[in-house]
Amino acid sequence: MSDTTPAHHAIDYIEIRVRDVAQAKAFYAAAFGWQFTDGRIVEPPFDFPGGRRFHFADPSGNVLAVWSLL
């Protein structure tokens, strides 16, 4: 059986607002050795009480939502 215990002090998820996604990925990969797993947007951004929201599917197909304060 494989060990699924999260690594201590490991980053599992981070969200950084950038203007150029490809450039940001290249920078953080070079600077920190980060790898990226992209999701797929399944519902584009829309107004939601107090902000905006969109839904995306992770690589396993789970649909998640992101909400942003206006």
Read off the CATH number of the domain in which 56 is found.
Answer: 3.30.720
Measure Cα distances from 6 to 3, 9, 46, 47 in Å.
9, 9, 33, 35
At 28-64, the pLDDT tens digits run 999 999 888 888 899 999 999 999 999 999 888 899 9
Distance, CA of 53 to chain centre: 14
Residue 2 scores a pLDDT above 70: no
Does residue 11 belong to any structural domain of this protein? no
35 domain-assigned? yes
pLDDT at res. 4: 67
pLDDT band at 70 (very low <50, low <70, confident <90, very high): confident
pLDDT of residue 27: 96
What is the residue range of 39's domain?
21-69
Tokens of 11: 């980053």
> 0.75 exceeded by the pTM?
no
58's enclosing H/E stretch is: none
